[in-house]
Amino acid sequence: MAAEIENLKAMGVKIVNNVIVGKSITIDELFEEGYEAVFIGSGAGLPQFLHIPGENLMGVYSANELLTRTNLMKAYREDYDTPIKKFNKVAVVGAGNVAMDAARVAKRLGASEVHVVYRRGKNEMPARQEEVEHAEAEGIEFNMLNNPCAILGDESGHVIGLQCVRQELGAPDERGRRSPVPVEGSTWTLECDTVIIAIGTSPNPLIRSTTPGLTTTRKGGIDADDMAHTEKVAVFAGGDAVTGSATVIMAMGAGKNAAYWIDEYIRRVNGEPKAEE
Ligand SMILES: Cc1cc2nc3c(=O)[nH]c(=O)nc-3n(C[C@H](O)[C@H](O)[C@H](O)COP(=O)(O)OP(=O)(O)OC[C@H]3O[C@@H](n4cnc5c(N)ncnc54)[C@H](O)[C@@H]3O)c2cc1C
């Protein structure tokens, strides 16, 4: 990774740190500074929440916060500035690959019990089979067919439980997945001191809300065509910012594709010949 960054610098790429596009500077201001094209690759890092009571209690994390603090900020080390509090019993809401990552990290951080809570059944889990098997091998427990309806706290504002309603599977939805249907009178509480929400992320609205002329998809991604062109002249986009949360390999492909079309665009507006294939 460090070597790749050095390679880019050696090719003449200037890396400007600590800039939030949309706050420190806008895309239109970048054009005023003389940039001829802009590529947006800002990802889909905005965590989604359940919007249930108790999500502001102490001991509730998004999976992104937990994993960022653990993996990038060394929060597992007690001598660090922002250590993560000790877990004992953890509920992870969601059943995708990120939920499996979060559950296993919580276990490795010392939790005695980690429960994955998911409103559908095991067959409907979005996580890859091997991710589920690895989680099971590490002792993660699975509470399928349970929909969280509230996070409970004590008088000092710390999590003490996750209230859930049991579900059964009903008719398939438009994507063919059977929909969860609440079982009447089945509310129960999973005792826990930590709740990790891992129900997906979406593109942050900051750039699109500060860039007139950009349009967005129904899911909040930036509209871009196969040549990475957005609706705004000279602005290109790719990766999770366009597709929503996907994979590294897709984002790398999108970056490569966009680089080709940005080069083509700059040559065209400057009347230069096309690059050799
Ligand atoms: C916990 C987790 C585990 C994952 N595991 C896998 C896996 O095993 N395999 C896999 O293929 N994929 C995995 N993914 C998905 C993968 O990380 C993404 O699909 C991929 O990183 C998307 O690349 P990107 O370049 O589009 O965006 P990102 O990698 O998200 O990069 C976007 C960058 O833009 C920056 N940024 C955002 N907004 C602004 C702004 N306004 N101004 C300036 N900078 C900004 C962000 O800080 C970030 O550095 C995982 C994702 C998560 C969250």
Q: Is 131 in the pocket of ligand 1 (CB under 6 A)?
A: no
For residue 21 and ligand 1, the question of a CB distance below 6 A is answered with: yes
Domains and CATH numbers, the chain: 2-44+204-269 (3.50.50.60), 46-201 (3.50.50.60)
Task: Measure 238 CA to ligand 1 centroid, in angstroms.
Answer: 12
Q: What average pLDDT does the chain have?
A: 94
Alpha-carbon torsion, ordered 254, 8, 31, 204, to 10 deg? 50
- Which residues have C-beta within 8 Å of that of residue 266, sequence separation ≥ 6? 36, 37, 272
Q: Please choose from 97, 248, 250 the residue to mutate so as to test ligand 1's pocket, defined by most ligand atoms within 8 A of CB.
A: 248
192 CB-contact burial (10 Å; exposed 0-12 / middle 13-18 / buried 19+): buried
Structure tokens at 277: 């294939």
Looking at residue 171, what is its pLDDT?
Answer: 87
Cβ 17 vs Cβ 5: under 8 Å: no
Please classify residue 1 by burial: count the beta carbons closer than 10 Å to its beta carbon, then call 0-12 exposed, 13-18 middle and 19+ buried: exposed
Q: Is the CB of 246 under 6 A from ligand 1?
A: yes
User: Could you tell me which residues come within 8 angstroms of residue 193 by beta carbon, excluding any fewer than 6 positions away?
Assistant: 59, 87, 88, 89, 90, 158, 159, 160
Structure tokens at 202: 């979406």
pLDDT at 175: 79
Å from CA of 185 to ligand 1 middle: 41
Which of 98, 94, 74, 92 has its CA nearest to residue 84?
74
Query: Which of 247, 250, 252 to mutate for ligand 1's pocket (most ligand atoms within 8 Å of CB)?
Result: 247
Place of tokens 């603090």: 69
Cα dihedral 181, 185, 189, 195 in deg (nearest 10) = 30
CA distance 266 to 196: 45
Residue 277 pLDDT:
62
Whether the CB-CB separation of 131 and 104 falls below 8 Å is answered with: no
Q: What pLDDT does residue 86 have? A: 87
pLDDT in tens, 104-160: 999 999 999 999 999 999 989 999 999 999 999 999 999 999 999 999 999 999 999
The whole-number pLDDT of residue 212 equals 96
How many CA atoms does the CB half-sphere of 132 hold within 13 Å? 17
- C-beta of 183 in contact with ligand 1 (< 6 A): no
Q: Is 41 in the pocket of ligand 1 (CB under 6 A)?
A: yes
How many CA atoms within 13 Å lie on the side-chain side of 159?
Answer: 29
From the CA of 249, give the closest atom in ligand 1: 11
Q: Which of 45, 43, 36, 14 is nearest to 235 (CA)?
A: 36
Kindly tell me the burial class for residue 210, based on how many C-beta atoms sit within 10 Å of its own C-beta (0-12, 13-18, 19 or more).
middle
Write down the pLDDT at residue 137: 97
pLDDT along the chain (277 residues), means of 10: 93 96 97 97 96 97 94 82 87 97 96 97 93 97 98 98 96 84 97 98 94 92 97 97 95 97 95 78
